[in-house]
């Protein structure tokens, strides 16, 4: 068993992304989840997980309780150690300095040598308290109160090897997505080595760029020639080295993709927002509906990001909604994220609910 140390402020979303690299993810407390097993290379690719820790003990968010739990735990390793404690989001009020001193003392008593600079093993102590996120598509996200100390040996840490911020890339346009968000959406759509992911509305190419950086082949399309040229420029800069995955950028209509059926493993796209409601020859609703239908034709999974809830058109296009999230970006923008699965693809259901006032989008 492992503890997952989540990143960001939206735990249900982070746990859902983590489930692309871990089995049976269960939210335990703010910023902390549990899993039965991890794909270490997959954990390294995640955007909203800091690390996975091999479980040693679990107790209350209290230093004395943590010390007692560590004394009673089986410690099946040798070599030098260090203790790193964290009060997750300041929720527990625990002194991390005291926790590290006391837990380190237990390890010394049990025969370990401490090396704070270059230890063979790092014991992570996560102290967390308060309400869990509330989301029906994520196990454990029930809104209940938590009071937890999770002790574990650091097993694998996320690389967080994102592309540079959009303003630092060769081609930039206002409104470009943050790299961590683009990475998470690519992961949720199935990006991984040996797979191919499409963004049919690629803009500057940030989302398929992150897919390429985790090892997937990237296919990107846009209706505007300027965006196609710019995305190619960005891809050459960051995916142009020897050994990089394959990538292709083309000018194309998202509602009439020049691809055969089932050509891809996943699709992810960020639909136009607000005042951009008339795009080329399409009205926004027709554009999104058409893009969803084409996505279902060419791939079994998709992630749609937009400024509104498109679950109705997604179902009409043949998708099952596995999860729906609302993610606040700033005062005037909340992103609606749909994790979609075609009927013939495996996946976790849970957010496939009607689009009516009695079933509002899930919030964190």
- The answer on pLDDT for 356 being more than 80 is no
Torsion of CA 93, 181, 345, 195, to 10 degrees: -120
Cβ neighbour number for residue 143 with a 10 Å cutoff: 9
Which distant-in-sequence residues (6+ apart) come within 8 Å of 92 by Cβ? 61, 127, 128, 129, 147, 149
pLDDT for the residue numbered 145: 97
Q: How confident is the model at residue 361 (pLDDT cuts 50, 70, 90)?
A: very low
Q: How confident is the model at residue 273 (pLDDT cuts 50, 70, 90)?
A: confident
Mean pLDDT value of segment 126-139: 96
Half-sphere exposure of 8 (CA within 13 A, CB side): 23
The CA–CA distances, whole Å, from 349 to 16, 83, 188, 357 equal 12, 39, 14, 21
Give the range among 165-169, 171-175, 301-305 with minimum mean pLDDT: 171-175
Rounded to whole angstroms, the Cα distance separating 115 from 316 reads 59
**What are all long-range contacts of 326-329, with beta carbons under 8 Å and residues at least 24 apart?**
326/361, 326/362, 326/363, 326/364, 327/10, 327/13, 327/181, 327/364
pLDDT for the residue numbered 176: 86
Helix (H) / strand (E) element for 342: namely: strand 333-342
pLDDT for the residue numbered 355: 38
| Residues comprising the chain, all counted | 364
- The answer on pLDDT for 358 being more than 70 is no
Q: Are 23 and 35 in contact (CB under 8 A)?
A: yes
Q: pLDDT tens-digit profile of 308-345? A: 999 999 999 999 999 999 998 888 888 999 999 998 77
What domains does the chain contain, in order, with CATH numbers? 2-157 (3.30.2130.30), 166-342 (3.40.50.150)
pLDDT for the residue numbered 349: 33
Rounded to whole angstroms, the Cα distance separating 167 from 22 reads 33
pLDDT for the residue numbered 166: 96
pLDDT for the residue numbered 362: 38
Q: pLDDT tens-digit profile of 196-244? A: 999 999 999 999 999 999 999 999 999 999 999 999 999 999 998 888 8
pLDDT for the residue numbered 343: 81
Q: How confident is the model at residue 274 (pLDDT cuts 50, 70, 90)?
A: low
Phi, psi values for residue 53, rounded to 5°: -120, 130
Q: Are 363 and 326 in contact (CB under 8 A)?
A: yes
């Amino acid at each position: 068993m492992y503890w997952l140390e989540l990143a960001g402020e939206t735990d249900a979303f982070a746990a859902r992304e983590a489930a692309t690299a871990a089995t049976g993810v269960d939210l335990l407390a703010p910023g902390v989840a549990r899993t039965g097993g991890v794909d270490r290379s997959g954990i390294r690719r995640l955007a909203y997980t800091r690390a996975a820790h091999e479980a040693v003990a679990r107790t209350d968010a209290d230093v004395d309780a943590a010390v007692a739990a560590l004394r009673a735990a089986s410690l099946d390793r040798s070599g030098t150690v260090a203790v790193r404690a964290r009060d997750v989001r300041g929720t527990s009020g625990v002194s991390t300095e005291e926790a590290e001193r006391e837990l380190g003392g237990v390890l010394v008593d049990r025969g370990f040598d401490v090396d704070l600079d270059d230890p063979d093993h790092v014991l992570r102590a996560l102290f967390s308290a308060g309400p869990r996120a509330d989301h029906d598509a994520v196990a454990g996200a029930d809104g209940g109160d938590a009071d937890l100390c999770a002790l574990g040996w650091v097993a694998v840490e996320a690389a967080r090897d994102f592309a540079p911020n959009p303003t630092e890339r060769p081609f930039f346009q206002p409104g470009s997505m943050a790299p961590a968000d683009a990475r998470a959406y690519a992961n949720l759509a199935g990006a991984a080595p040996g797979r191919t992911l499409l963004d049919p509305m690629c803009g500057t190419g940030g989302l398929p760029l992150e897919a390429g950086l985790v090892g997937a082949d990237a296919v990107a399309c846009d209706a505007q020639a300027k965006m196609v040229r710019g995305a190619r420029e960005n891809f050459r800069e960051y995916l142009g080295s020897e050994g990089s995955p394959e990538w292709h950028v083309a000018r194309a209509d998202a509602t009439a993709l020049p691809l055969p059926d089932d050509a891809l493993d996943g699709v992810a796209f960020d639909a136009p927002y607000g005042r951009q409601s008339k795009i080329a020859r399409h009205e926004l609703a027709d554009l999104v509906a058409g893009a969803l239908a084409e996505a279902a034709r060419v791939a079994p999974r998709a992630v749609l990001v937009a400024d509104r809830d498109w679950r109705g058109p997604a179902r009409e296009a043949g998708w099952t909604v596995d999860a729906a999230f609302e993610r606040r970006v700033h005062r005037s923008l909340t992103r609606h994220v749909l994790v979609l699965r075609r009927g013939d693809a495996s996946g976790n259901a849970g957010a496939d609910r009607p689009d009516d006032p009695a079933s509002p989008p899930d919030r964190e």
